[in-house]
Structure 1
Amino acid sequence: MTITYEWRGEFENAAVNVLHAEGFDHRVLDIDWLEQVHRHSLGWVCARRDGELVGFVNVAWDGGVHAFVLDTMVRADLRRSGIGAALVAAAVRGARAAHCEWLHVDFDDDLRAFYFDACGFKPTKAGHIAL
């Protein structure tokens, strides 16, 4: 299986909406991902197999030195094959090339091993306010 990864790759909203629904267990929504990433993101990574979008990660940023991994998603039947870690590795390279100093991520506990072990993130203290 050959997977290609492209920083700021072309994609269709419908394909990302299907991946997002599958990855985050909700119905398929009609989100304008193209507008969203072009407005708010440093970049994104598309993973493709035979031209089909099978993975995606968004890299939002503050316009300075902090970037944020959001919405890492891989088609369900291809999970646990290294695609997610490769998506994040490409996001790291993209953020580094943009001279970011930090790449942040937050996640649910069940993804701890993925982000810490497979992707190389380190634990840090953080806080949030539920709005």
Structure 2
Amino acid sequence: MASHEIVITADERPSREELLTLYDAVGWTSYTTDPDALEAAVDGSTRVVTARYDGDLLGLARVLSDGASVAYLQDVLVRPELQREGVGRALVQAAMEPFAHVRQQVLLTDDEPGQRSFYESLGYAEIRDHGDGRLRAFVRFLGPSAVAAD
């Protein structure tokens, strides 16, 4: 009997239906309200890494990067029933592997305590905790009405 294991694959683009199911499973409905934009975001990513079991999509991580000075880790998702099982760590490591030489490795995430400990365990630090405090981070979120006005 063949053993089943979680398979991590780089540079795979899941189907629209798989993406919607995964993003819905983790409650990221701001992505699933616009399936075209979600699919375009994943398709436009520099690197996409997936986790599958028996062909089913269990997790995904994606990176946007210029390959030289900055790599932005975006969208690390793992189905809730598999969180805290090492899948997220494996996804992040596989997603960031080609960018190990890149000086700025950046991510933006919500303020949930588990997020902080997870990313700190991977070597990330909050901007306010980094170095001598001379770094700043800025972000601008545009709502649907602001995007439509462009």
Q: TM-score, normalised by structure 1?
A: 0.81
Unaligned ranges ≥5, structure 2: 129-136, 143-150
What is the root-mean-square deviation in Å for CA atoms of aligned residues? 2.3
1:26, distance to aligned residue in structure 2 (A): 2.9
Show CA shifts across 1:53-73 (max 9, x none): 100011122564211111111
State whether structure 2 residue 124 is matched by structure 1 residue 121.
Answer: yes
- Residue 88 of structure 1 aligns to which amino acid in structure 2? V
Quick one: structure 1 residues 24 and 70, their matched pair in 2 at CA, closer, same or farther if it must change by over 3 Å?
farther
1:90, distance to aligned residue in structure 2 (A): 0.7
Determine what percentage of the aligned residue pairs are the same residue. Answer: 30
Quick one: structure 1 residues 106 and 10, their matched pair in 2 at CA, closer, same or farther if it must change by over 3 Å?
closer
- Residue 3 of structure 1 aligns to which amino acid in structure 2? I
- 8 Å CA contact 2:63–2:96 kept in 1: the answer is no
- 8 Å CA contact 2:67–2:102 kept in 1: the answer is no
Q: Provide the aligned length of Structure 1 versus Structure 2.
A: 127
- Residue 123 of structure 1 aligns to which amino acid in structure 2? E
Residue in structure 2 matched with residue 53 of structure 1 by the alignment: 57
- 8 Å CA contact 1:42–1:67 kept in 2: the answer is no
Task: Name the SS of the counterpart of 2:75 in structure 1.
Answer: strand
1:34, distance to aligned residue in structure 2 (A): 4.6
Residue in structure 2 matched with residue 72 of structure 1 by the alignment: 76
- 8 Å CA contact 1:56–1:87 kept in 2: the answer is yes
Quick one: structure 1 residues 63 and 20, their matched pair in 2 at CA, closer, same or farther if it must change by over 3 Å?
same
**Aligned runs of 1:14-93 on 2, under 5 Å?**
14-26=17-29, 28-29=32-33, 31-32=35-36, 33-39=38-44, 41-62=45-66, 64-93=68-97
- 8 Å CA contact 2:73–2:96 kept in 1: the answer is no
- Residue 2 of structure 1 aligns to which amino acid in structure 2? E
Larger Rg: 2
Give the Cα–Cα distance (whole angstroms) in 2 for the partners of residues 14 and 30 of structure 1.
12
Q: TM-score, normalised by structure 2?
A: 0.72
Quick one: structure 1 residues 64 and 130, their matched pair in 2 at CA, closer, same or farther if it must change by over 3 Å?
same
